[in-house]
Amino acid sequence: MLTLVTGGARSGKSRHAESLVAHATSVLYIATSQIFDAEMAARIQHHREDRPTHWRTEERWQQLAEIITPRNNPDEAVLLECITTLVTNLLFAFGEGEEVGNWDYVALEARVQQEIDALLAACAACPSPVVLVTNEVGMGIVPENRLARHFRDIAGRVNQRLAQAADDVWLVVSGIGVKIK
């Protein structure tokens, strides 16, 4: 069972996703953020402290098929937070230190989509319920800079693929989840 939870920043999507797995005997929480500065370190620490102590946490954004597997316990839900951060991490990793203005966004997106293919295959083979959290990035104005425009487009297409593959899709607005699929 694959569930996608989407919404804007601070919409309540994380809380909603957590409520979807609250019934599970245990939860594997996959955190995709990386620490790049003191503010992010504080945010990550806050999230660590807020998670229930009986949840198992993996902090990673690559090789997810190593932890979302056919061997997972069916009674342990998987909650991945968040796809948008994962896409960001992949873009910068695949950009390999190249100046952002020189990125080949078509090639980068192809590599991101390969990672999403692997994630979807892992989710399909996993006996556990899997909940993916992502940001809805397409409801605002067209960004003024090239990187932001390409990121919005790539993340939007990733979200569409995930929503198509998901059994359930939730849109969260102002803390209220609306099931749209």
- Which sequence positions are flagged as catalytic? 47
168 bridge partner residues: 3
Q: Mapping DSSP to helix (H, G, I), strand (E, B) and coil, where does residue 80 land? A: strand
Identify the residue whose tokens are 């099931």.
Answer: 179
Residue 101 φ then ψ, to 5°: -65, -15
Relative to beta strand 76-81, strand 176-179 is unpaired
Relative to beta strand 56-59, strand 2-7 is unpaired
Q: How far is CA 107 from CA 53, 62, 137, 154, 171, in A?
A: 41, 18, 21, 11, 30
What does the block give as tokens for 79? 């909650």
> How many Å apart are CA 98 and CA 104, to the nearest integer?
10
Q: Is 147 exposed, middle or buried (0-12, 13-18, 19+ CB in 10 A)?
A: middle
